Amino acid sequence: MIRLGTRGSLLATTQSGWIADRLREAHGVEVELVEISTLGDRSSAPLEQIGGTGVFVAAVREALLEGRVDLAVHSLKDLPTAPAEGLTLAAVPQREDPRDVLIARDGLTLGELPRGARVGTGSPRRISQLNALGLGIETAPLRGNVDTRIGKVTSGDLDAIVLARAGLLRLGRADEATEILDPIQMLPAPGQGALACECRADDDATTALLAVLDDPDTRAAVTAERTLLATLEAGCTAPVGALADVVWGDDGDELWLRAVVGDPSGAPVIRRSAVGAPAEAAALGRRLAQEMLADGADQLMGSATTA
């Protein structure tokens, strides 16, 4: 019996159930989901007020280190970039669509929203990029599960909300989106759409079981994105977006990384991109981050923090 630690939300248990099914299919093992309450689930306060990075994973990691579960499944975008002592990222399965979507009243798209429309999101990354578009919309704080967030639109409290498409796809609710946002407008959070399978570093048996789930292209992409985030010394609540893709180039596979650092006001915004080899994903992320720091990304993030 493999005990899989997961948050208790419908999205978290759906994601973890998908991993459990893959392990059953690949190895014929029994997998039990163990639900764990996290600080991020218990509090409705803005993430930056309750600790930001790690609030959705700390309790699950604690259960893993204490041996109460054998592996943990996280949304990779929630995982701190710093290594966790005693744990290993054993598998990063093939990524779901990393893009953000809009769910708006009356089937509207972002460009069709009237000036002054209220768009719900608690993400500084999304706020900065929405405001940078100059559409005259207002952003409003938003926390809670998918049902709670969508309910803010159906009830009329908000004109629209922005969510990750991956979560809607996993819940079978993708058709509720009124627009898929192009990464040119809205770069996702580093690691968005990907799952992280962690186990204890000394648990060779579980590490071996998870190896079959690892997708090399996804791991290369998220490694570049998360290395950029770490080099910028920014957490998951920082106004940083990044997206890497493995594409076919003249000399074979190439890794294309795009990134943005913004400010809640919407201006200025630093956007940069770089291309490298998938095998050098970490170096690519560091290089692009260093270029952005040379352009003033640290001052921009600092102003966002103190705003």
Omega of the bond leading into 268 within 30 degrees of 0 (cis): yes
* Position 2, amino acid: I
CA distance 198 to 221: 18
Question: In terms of Cα–Cα distance, which of 90, 48, 57 is closest to 71?
Answer: 90
Question: In terms of Cα–Cα distance, which of 110, 106, 64, 99 is closest to 84?
Answer: 64
Query: What is the DSSP code (8-state) at residue 30?
Result: -
* Position 51, amino acid: G
CA distance 9 to 12: 5
Retrieve residue 134's tokens. 């100059």
Candidate list 78, 159, 203, 263, residue with the active-site label: 78
Residue 204 falls in the annotated catalytic set: no
Q: Which residues are identified as catalytic?
A: 78
